[in-house]
Amino acid sequence: MTKFVKKMRLLGLPVLLLALVLIFAGCDSNGDSETWHYVTSMNQLNGTWRGSFSQSMTIREYYQLRGWEWDTLIQNYHGNMTVTNTMDDNVTINTSTMRKAATARITTTYSGGNISVIWPDIRNSYPNDNSVTVNDSNYSVAYFSSYDVPVSIGSFLGYEINQNENRIRYRASTEVALFTSNDYIVLTRQ
């Protein structure tokens, strides 16, 4: 297997990592109309939080973000393909038990370019288990993730809360996700 084909098969893995890491959701696109300050107490976080997220990026932008080489061969392989991620999250933080329970449904859809030709390679790069559903008709992969873990205030370092304490956010990492460094993951209190 050539180095190029290995890289193509691994394309699905980073997108899966995106899904698993982004358990909180929603890109903040309303500017800074709110006043934000760092979370300083677990009591600020008690309750249920929900959000949704959607972002699209060309495959070339994705390669550039990851620091991967882009050349004519790769361009010819992918064409002008786009990757779109959408997510719906539900997170409950219980400060009396110091636990966080979360569920997320993330859908990654590939479109354009040579997707009909390279879909089998992308499809086969995803794990074959009950948490992943592949839809060959629209070139998408849906994930369902849930967990229940112990937490402390240290679990939320870098998280911010707005002045009404009804929204929390944190900066997304370009090491993990399809985000720029200025994007936020945002949750709204229910």
Could you report the per-residue pLDDT of 94-129, keeping only the tens digit for each? 999 999 999 988 899 999 999 999 999 999 988 888
The structure tokens listed for 33 are 């109309």
Tens-place pLDDT, residues 163-174: 999 999 887 653
Residue 103 burial (C-beta neighbours within 10 Å; 0-12, 13-18, 19+): middle
Q: If you count DSSP H runs as helices and E runs as strands, how many of each does the chain have, helices first?
A: 5, 9
Is there a contact between 59 and 81 (Cβ–Cβ < 8 Å)? yes
pTM: 0.70
Angle made by CA atoms 4, 19, 53, in degrees to the nearest 5: 120
